[in-house]
Structure formats: structure tokens, C-alpha cells
Structure 1
Amino acid sequence: MAEQAPICNFGWKAPPFSLPAVDGKTVSLADLRGKHGTLVMFICNHCPYVKAVIDRIVRDANELKSYGINTVAISSNDAGHYPEDSFDNMKRFAKAHGFTFPYLYDESQAVARAYDAVCTPDFFGFNGKLELHYRGRLDASRREAGPADARRELFEAMKQVAETGKGPREQTASMGCSIKWKAA
């Protein structure tokens, strides 16, 4: 079932985390904080919404580096019930798509809960002070990739964050598959 992320809570501070990455390291928010901003995104391997745009996500993350924005992807899905989202499959997914940013595993789902992540993909764009300024979508894509010339909403918003410290007031919420929560 498709879920939609809530509207941006401007100024909300990024909760710290430290999680294992697919490259074997443990990475914290402090390790990857960008000079002008940090993009934290919740994704997974099996979601059709993510699969439709993963190459665009990688493209935008790579281009945002030149603006002092660092990116991290986190998978929080219950891999016991969704084996395609296992840590080993995360490694394969990151390699297949040429990730140049850390891909972290939130096995306990504590980070997803701290961020109140609801779907994949769910984007959290923070300024250099780790204050939230973007909680919108990548572009107009849904379960299929939008047109090649679709407005790059996430990229434009994060570029604005890098240049001004603030995101756009008008944002369209991201939509995707719900986070696959473990049974309580």
C-alpha cells in the first residue's frame, strides 16, 4: 500500500545515529554531515517506487556533493519478512547501482522511528546546522519513472538549502511503499 510522507517540519533537528554500512564500516550522522547540508533518505531494495528512481537518486546525490551536501541511504525494512531487503542484498543493490554514498542497515528500526520515516523513498534534507528544510519528493515519478525532463525537486531544494540554509516553503510529499515494520 502506498504511503505519503508528512509535510516538512522546518527546523526539526536530525536525530543522531550510528549504523553498519554495506562497506563494512559503522557510520554515524556526525561522520557524514555535509558542510552545507545532509540528505538522509530511507530506501529499500525491493520497493518499486525506489527501483523506478534509484538511478536519479544516485545522480542527484553525486551532483549535490559539489554544493557541500552529503548523502546517506538507510534501509529499515524487516528483512525477515522481506528477504530482498537483507544486508547481503543491500550490498548487491548498492554495487549494482553505483552508490557513492553510505548505505546503512537499521536492523532495529530505531532510526526510522526516530525520524518518523513512513515510506520508501522518504527524503530528509537538512541544512548545515542539521535542521530539517526539505521533506518532499525526488520528482514527479511514482511507481514508474517520470519523464526524463521532470523537474528535479529534491535536487533544486537541496541546492537552495546549500546556498541559503533554508528550503522551499512549497514542497510535494514523497510517496512510496510503507516501511515494513517488525511485529511488536
Structure 2
Amino acid sequence: MGKKDKSETIKDTEVNETSNQDTQVEEISVEEQLKEELAKEKDKFLRLFAEFENYKRRTSKERIDLFKTASEDVMLAMLPVLDDFERALAHIEDDKEAEELRKGVLLIYNKLLTTLNQKGLEKLEVNAGDVFDADIHEAITQIPAPTDDLKGKIVDVVEKGYKLGEKVIRFPKVVIGQ
């Protein structure tokens, strides 16, 4: 029985050492698992935070753009009135007897134009002889160029163009020489 007791004691010691190692392995693996979960949660938090910051930036930019162009419909409705004023002024200039009428119409036109400019409306400057650019101009028709230097260039401006802030709300309508 002496031999059995020694062998049983040795086996019990080996089992205890093995269970201690298993416990340490389990403790390490639990600790590693917790670290991994913490790292995943940190990553998830950082991504969510970045996404939220991008959302705030985007909505802020959209809000600013909306305020800049909120009056676009009103401006588009007022452009034909500006065109009519310009046609009236051109017609009145021909009539020398209507000098007082021309002054009154010019006064109202300038007041309207000043008010619209204060709200962000800008005229796109286009003149006969300028190079045609499809990104900026709207070609209505092409006619034979009166001179060779007007080929591919603007011959006449039919309707003026306007922009509100940085956005073009009406492209200038032009005639191109071919």
C-alpha cells in the first residue's frame, strides 16, 4: 500500500498542477477576451463618433446652402420683370419726348436691381465676341458668322443670365457664329 499511496499522491499533484494551468489559461483567455471586446467597443465608438461628426458637418453645409438659395423661386419669378424693364428702357431711349418717363422707369429698374443684388442675385456678364462655353452659355441657334473672327464665338446675347450665390439659376441664351 505504500507504493499506491505514493503513486496516488503523484497523480493528485499532477492533476492539481494541470488544473492550475487550465485555470491560468482560462483566466488569461478571459482577460484576452475582455481586452478584445473592449477594443471592438472602442472601435465601434470611434466609428460612430466619426459618422456623427460627418452628419453634423453635412447637415450644417446643407442648411447654409438652403439659406443661400431659399429665395431661388422668387428670383426666378422676378427675372422676367427685369427683362421687361430692360426692354422698356431700350424702347424709351428711342423716344426723345419721353425723357421724364425714362427717368422714372430707370429709377424703378435700378431700385429693383439693387434689391435683388442685395439678396444675392448677380448678372452673368456675356458680350458679343466672347468665346462660347457650353458650361456657362445656352446656345439657341447658330448663324453664319458675319466675320471670320466670330466663328465659334457669341454673335448676339438674346437673354441675360443670372446666378444666385454660386449657383447659376438662368443661363444666358446666345447666338453662335459658325
TM-score scaled by length of structure 2: 0.24
Q: What's the TM-score, normalizing by structure 1?
A: 0.24
Larger Rg: 2
Q: Which has the higher strand share?
A: 1
